[in-house]
Copies of this chain bind each other. A is one copy, B any other.
Amino acid sequence: MFRANLTACADAVQDHLNAQLNGYGDTPVVQAMRYTLQGGKRMRAFLVMESARLFDVPHDRSIWPATGIEAIHAYSLVHDDLPCMDDDDLRRGRPTLHKKWDEATAVLAGDALQTFGYELTLSPKTGDAEVRAHLALALAQAAGAQGMVLGQALDIAAETATAPLTLDEITELQQGKTGALISYSARAGAIMAKADDRPLADYARAVGLAFQIADDILDIEGDPEKAGKRLNKDEAAGKATFVSLLGMDTAKHRAKSLIQDACDAISQYGPKAENLRDLANFVISRDS
């Protein structure tokens, strides 16, 4: 049931992104934006739409910030894959953008995807001005130099550091690099409903950390074909990960206990939060 719900959300997100990119013309940059916006689990969009559903915010409002966060996520992947960053050739089983086009197109398409994320989020169809301004500001705070980009900067710094990162440092890195957007996505529904977003922030903190631990586990135990990307990167680069620091068994145990924390944080929402509980469990059981 959960898999079907996630797929239905991904399909709705894809349709909406395609429709919104129509009328943007057909320059190579827009073609590259379309290419990048194909596929993916759409976990962040699902978080937006499911947290919105807790407060009865309708689908045709929440689809706007849901697609907005996917555009922001897509921009970060495109720039992260660049030769001067992670230098990856493969993403979701397909050539990365700078391999299929070129670096200039990848820089520009990433830039335009970030802008597109704000444009979607700020659509008048998202809600009243208070909701739109609040969402967009929360998104900027999550994406910027105190959120996602901070995490990426710490990640780059770690590559040339003399000592491997400690558990605290890896946790800070993760909270920026993947945690900040996950937190924004989970809080988005409460922001749209002008409700208290703290329970969802607690949920997201645990899910985000579990997600990163699961990623580190997948990097070692995963199947590259299913993952659609290069694996064993961190191990090969001698980078500290949750697995290298905690050991595989403790890492798996820690991920499970975080999922319990996440489910506890949203217990007040009852049966309506079932999809969010299922998502938390999915995060540590996925194979890609």
* A residues apposed to B, CB below 8 Å: 24-25, 27-30, 33, 75-76, 79, 82, 84-85, 102-105, 107-108, 110-112, 114-116, 118-119, 122-123, 128-130, 132-134, 136-137, 139-141, 143-146, 149-150, 152-154, 156-157
Q: Across the interface, do B141 and A119 meet the contact criterion of CB distance under 8 Å? A: yes
Known contacts A104-B156, A129-B133; A29 and B149 CB within 8 A of each other:
yes
Known contacts A27-B157, A156-B108; A137 and B122 CB within 8 A of each other:
yes
**Chain A binding site: helix, strand, loop or mixed by DSSP?**
helix
Q: Across the interface, do A140 and B118 meet the contact criterion of CB distance under 8 Å? A: yes
- Which residues on the B side are within 8 Å of A136 (C-beta)? 118, 122, 133, 136
Q: Across the interface, do B85 and A104 meet the contact criterion of CB distance under 8 Å? A: yes
Assembly CA distance A24 to B176 (angstroms): 13
- Which residues on the B side are within 8 Å of A75 (C-beta)? 111
Whole-angstrom distance between the Cβ of A199 and the nearest chain B Cβ: 24
Assembly CA distance A152 to B30 (angstroms): 12
- Which residues on the B side are within 8 Å of A108 (C-beta)? 79, 149, 152-153, 156
Whole-angstrom distance between the Cβ of A70 and the nearest chain B Cβ: 16
Measured CB to CB, the nearest residue on chain B to A119 is B140
Measured CB to CB, the nearest residue on chain B to A72 is B115
